[in-house]
C-alpha cells in the first residue's frame, strides 16, 4: 500500500504541471478514439442497416458473424493486421508497419464489430409494425433507414459508446501493428504498458489516471447525448 501511495504522490505533479510527453499521448489518444469511432460508424452503420432491415438469404449468418466478431481477441486482430502490413505481406507495399496509420486502422477494425452488431440488434428490436407502417405510407429506402436509425437512436449511441470505449482502452493490437514507439504511436493505454514494463511506475500511474479521466469525460458526454429525446421527424406521402 505504501508503494502505491508513493507512486501516486509522484504521479500527481506530472499531471498538474502538464508533462509534454503526457500531453502528446493524450492528444494522440483523442485523435485515435474519435477518428476510429467515426470511421467505424461510417462503415458499420450501413452494414447494420442491411442486417437489420434486409430480407435476403444469408442475413442470419451475417448477423451471427457480426455477433461473433465481438469476441475476437484484440491481439489476434492485431496479429493478422501485422501479417498484412509486413513488407512481405499482401499490403506490404503500403509501408504501414510501425506507423500511426496502422494504429488508426487497427482501432477502426476493433470498433467496427460493436457498431455493426449493436446497431443491427437495436434496429431489429424496434416494434414490428413500425417499419411496415412506414412502408405502407410510402416511405422510400432512404426514409426507412433514417426512421430506423432515429427510432433506434438509443441503441445506436450505445454502440458508439462501446466502440469509443474499445478505441480508448485497447492495447494489444496497437503494440503489434505500431510497435508502441515512445512518444510516436502510443495511446494512453499502450503508454501505460510501456512505462510499467520500464518500471517507471509513477509515469504509468499518471498516464492511467489521465486515461480513466478521459474515459469518464468522453463516455459521459456521449451518454448525455444518449439521454436526449430529440430527433428528426419524418413525413411520408401516402401510397397511391
Predicted confidence (pLDDT) per residue in 44-84, tens digit: 999 999 998 877 787 888 888 888 988 888 999 999 999 99
What proportion of the chain, given as a percentage, has pLDDT over 70? 86
pTM higher than 0.85: no
Dist. CA 155–CA 125, nearest whole Å: 9
Query: Is residue 238's pLDDT more than 50?
Result: no
27-186+218-226 has which CATH code? 1.10.3720.10
Q: Residue 163 in contact with residue 114, Cβ under 8 Å?
A: yes
What is d(CA 51, CA 53) in angstroms, rounded to the nearest whole number?
6
Amino acid at each position: 500500500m505504501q508503494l502505491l501511495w508513493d507512486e501516486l504522490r509522484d504521479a500527481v505533479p506530472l499531471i498538474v504541471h502538464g508533462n509534454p510527453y503526457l500531453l502528446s499521448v493524450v492528444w494522440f489518444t483523442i485523435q485515435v478514439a474519435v477518428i476510429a469511432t467515426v470511421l467505424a460508424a461510417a462503415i458499420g452503420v450501413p452494414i447494420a442497416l442491411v442486417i437489420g432491415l434486409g430480407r435476403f438469404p444469408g442475413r442470419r449468418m451475417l448477423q451471427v458473424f457480426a455477433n461473433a466478431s465481438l469476441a475476437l481477441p484484440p491481439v489476434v486482430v492485431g496479429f493478422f493486421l501485422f501479417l498484412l502490413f509486413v513488407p512481405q505481406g499482401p499490403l506490404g507495399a503500403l509501408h504501414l508497419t510501425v506507423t500511426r496509420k496502422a494504429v488508426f486502422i487497427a482501432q477502426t477494425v476493433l470498433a467496427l464489430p460493436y457498431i455493426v452488431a449493436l446497431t443491427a440488434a437495436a434496429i431489429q428490436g424496434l416494434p414490428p409494425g413500425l417499419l411496415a407502417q412506414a412502408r405502407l405510407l410510402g416511405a422510400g429506402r432512404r426514409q426507412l433507414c433514417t426512421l430506423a436509425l432515429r427510432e433506434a437512436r438509443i441503441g445506436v449511441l450505445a454502440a458508439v459508446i462501446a466502440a469509443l470505449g474499445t478505441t480508448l482502452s485497447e492495447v494489444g493490437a496497437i503494440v503489434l501493428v505500431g510497435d508502441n514507439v515512445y512518444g510516436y504511436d502510443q495511446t494512453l493505454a499502450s503508454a501505460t504498458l510501456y512505462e510499467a514494463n520500464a518500471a517507471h511506475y509513477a509515469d504509468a500511474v499518471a498516464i492511467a489516471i489521465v486515461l480513466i479521466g478521459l474515459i469518464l469525460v468522453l463516455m459521459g458526454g456521449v451518454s448525455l447525448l444518449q439521454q436526449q429525446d430529440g430527433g428528426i421527424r419524418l413525413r411520408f406521402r401516402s401510397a397511391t
